[in-house]
Amino acid sequence: MSMIEIQNAASELPPHERGALVAWLLDSLPPHSGEDAAADSLREAARRRSELDSGAVTALNSEEFWAAIERERAQWK
């Protein structure tokens, strides 16, 4: 089963079942230390700031962000 097929099947679930699925998926991920996560987050933030500052990427405004989310969700159905 492909990721798109899984997303489509999950999108058919009632909200409380989707929430339970999300909780299960998050619990299924391997644990990592808080220090590792914090360091990774700082590196990622610095990388993204550098991309913005250099002009390699442009920031989205909130309308563009939510429109992209809606386009992604539309592909799940």
Give the C-alpha separation, 67 to 73, whole Å: 10
**What pTM was estimated for this model as a whole?**
0.49
User: What pLDDT, in 10s, does the model give residues 31-76?
Assistant: 777 777 788 899 999 999 999 999 999 999 999 999 999 998 888 7
* Beta carbons of 59 and 52 less than 8 angstroms apart: yes
- Distance of CA 76 to CAs 3, 6, 42, 62, Å? 9, 8, 31, 22
The residue with tokens 């442009």 is 58
Q: Which two tokens stand for residue 20?
A: 């339970």
**57 CB-near residues (< 8 Å, 6+ apart):** 48, 51
